[in-house]
């Protein structure tokens, strides 16, 4: 009996950069989400742009980050321009789709 083939996964770091939205009091920041190596975002693939903190939390959860981890990231980004989430594992097919 043949088993279901397992999709290969890639483990890396989510790099999140806070982008200011001039003149928008309700949603003052957008966020650029990249996936790549552990040292810095150089060479990382941009995989999403979140429009505000609520969207950031939702997108991080869609990428497999826990609800608590997503909330911690959003709170940290209120005070700092960049944040990293280590040890995120994405399916290669998911990465290919997101990087298009």
pLDDT the model gives residue 8: 86
Q: How far apart are CA 73 and CA 79, in angstroms?
A: 10
pLDDT confidence of residue 92: 81
Q: For position 91, what pLDDT does the model report?
A: 85
* Structure tokens, 47: 């995989």
State pLDDT tens for residues 34-72: 998 776 656 678 889 999 999 999 999 999 999 999 999
Say whether pLDDT at 14 is over 70: yes
pLDDT digits (tens, 9 = 90+) for 68-87: 999 999 999 999 999 999 99
**62 dihedral zone (left: phi>0; alpha: psi -120 to 50; beta):** alpha
82-91/29-36 β-pairing: unpaired
The reported pLDDT for the residue numbered 85 is 95
Average pLDDT over residues 9-34: 84
Domain extents in the chain: 10-99
């Amino acid at each position: 009996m043949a088993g279901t083939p397992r999709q290969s996964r890639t483990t890396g770091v989510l790099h999140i950069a806070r982008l200011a939205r001039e003149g928008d009091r309700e949603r003052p920041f957008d966020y650029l989400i990249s996936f790549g190596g552990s040292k810095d975002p150089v060479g990382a693939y941009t995989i999403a742009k979140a429009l505000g903190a609520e969207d950031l939390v939702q997108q991080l959860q869609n990428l497999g980050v826990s609800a608590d981890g997503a909330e911690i990231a959003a709170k940290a980004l209120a005070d700092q321009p960049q944040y990293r989430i280590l040890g995120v594992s994405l399916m290669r097919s998911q990465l290919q789709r997101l990087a298009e």
